[in-house]
Amino acid sequence: MSNVTVIGAQWGDEGKGKIVDWLASRADVVVRFQGGHNAGHTLVVGEQVYKLSLLPSGLVRGKLGIIGNGVVVDPQALLAEIARVVAQGLPVSPDTLKIAENVPLILPVHGALDRAREAARGDRKIGTTGRGIGPAYEDKVARRAIRLCDLAEPETLDWKLDELLLHHNTLLAGHGAETFEKADLLAFLNDIAPKVLPYMAPVADLLEAERKGGSKILFEGAQAVMLDVDHGTYPFVTSSNTVASNAGTGSGMGPAAAGFVLGIAKAYTTRVGEGPFPSELFDETGRVLGERGHEFGTVTGRPRRCGWFDAVLVRHAVQVAGVNGLALTKLDVLDGLDEIRVCVGYDLDGETIRRFPAGPAAQSRVKPVYETLEGWKESTRGARSWAELPAQAIKYVRRIEELVEAPVTLLSTSPERDDTILVRDPFDS
């Protein structure tokens, strides 16, 4: 199978947008299979910069874009994003964008509950975006979600809203927050239905036809493995499974759909929001990494926490997500450093371990065990072949391969699409 699945191998913001855009030129279909508008990809195409949260990146390359059933969709955010990119000259229509008919919707009540809960947590806040993603996923598994197909059935919508508001208004009242009226939500949905229903399609059938026709399908993940609701730094995680095995479940295809799994990792580590971060730097080097890397969240605008490359957590991501190869990004940010450290293990209460502990208390206590490598003075920015890289930079990449037990398939040396060193084309695997 010539499919490729792209996932983050750290805590997100690894530069997936550029890699997905680069691969999309080789694909026929690009599919989003999980997450919501709490994640973002930045694509730089010539002089144009696209910031996408829900729309599949392949639309920028004129490829068919699909939003699978594993995504939770805020219809207002979707329409706003479509309007924004159309204003930039990117055509988006029901011919180029298909949304699964069974996709759950994010309603205003979900965002209100998300923000009320986060405020109530105080010092123990998770760091959510407050956009309602978690509550929408809760409704999905509790079987009370409003799905896209429900907008075409007024009688279904009526009784489903009764059940949904019975639950959410109770919780909102308990938090001292404003509750919602059924008539207001019903009016909101009836107004937005004719604007989003034209995009609705039987995505599972469509993808099966594409598979039988030999199409190359690119699955585009959001967030990253260390934010996976099962395998990440729980509870400081997102509300969906971000690993590659969810590509089939979140799109209506079988378990073999993922194909070649490409994990994206920065040459250092960043994180937005709360939660443990063993290799985080609070010194001048951390500040330099943040400034050079322009480390601000695509969606939130929050400054990212920066630290050395953590081989323990990336090896964990490689293992649980079935990563076949890595795309290593932002190597150029490390240019000019005298020495570079790599976290190769953790000290947990005096014992060295080489795995990420599951418990939050243990996660907060681990201290990084570093290996120090020699830096390089030459610039790697814009390099497009191994021959253009300094010897020490190549040694750094090779050492990462050894530590995470996965080969580097792609190497990115700037935000520009063509500043990429291709070791192995994932679609030819």
Q: Which residues are catalytic?
A: 13, 41, 140
Is 15 labelled as part of a ligand binding site? Answer: yes
| Cα–Cα distance, 67 to 32 (Å, whole number) | 5
Is 143 labelled as part of a ligand binding site? Answer: yes
Torsional class of 70: left (φ above 0), alpha (ψ -120 to 50), beta (otherwise): alpha
Is 18 labelled as part of a ligand binding site? Answer: yes
Is 160 labelled as part of a ligand binding site? Answer: no
Is 238 labelled as part of a ligand binding site? Answer: yes
* 380: amino acid identity, one letter: T
Q: How far is CA 97 from CA 68, 209, 324, in A?
A: 11, 16, 29
Q: How far is CA 234 from CA 16, 228, 279, 318, 358, in A?
A: 22, 8, 18, 18, 8
Is 378 labelled as part of a ligand binding site? Answer: no
Torsional class of 252: left (φ above 0), alpha (ψ -120 to 50), beta (otherwise): left
Q: Which residue in 328, 324, 330, 338 sits closest to 304, CA to CA?
A: 330
Is 419 labelled as part of a ligand binding site? Answer: no
Is 252 labelled as part of a ligand binding site? Answer: no
Is 364 labelled as part of a ligand binding site? Answer: no
| Cα–Cα distance, 179 to 108 (Å, whole number) | 11
| Cα–Cα distance, 25 to 121 (Å, whole number) | 44
Is 425 labelled as part of a ligand binding site? Answer: no
Is 42 labelled as part of a ligand binding site? Answer: yes
Is 46 labelled as part of a ligand binding site? Answer: no
Q: CB of 136 within 8 A of CB of 156? A: no
> From the annotation, which residues make up the binding site for substrate?
298-304
Annotated binding site for IMP: 13-16, 38-41, 129, 143, 223, 238, 302
Binding residue positions for Mg(2+): 13, 40
Q: Which residues are annotated as a binding site for GTP?
A: 12-18, 40-42, 304, 330-332, 412-414
Task: Write out the binding residues.
Answer: 12-18, 38-42, 129, 143, 223, 238, 298-304, 330-332, 412-414
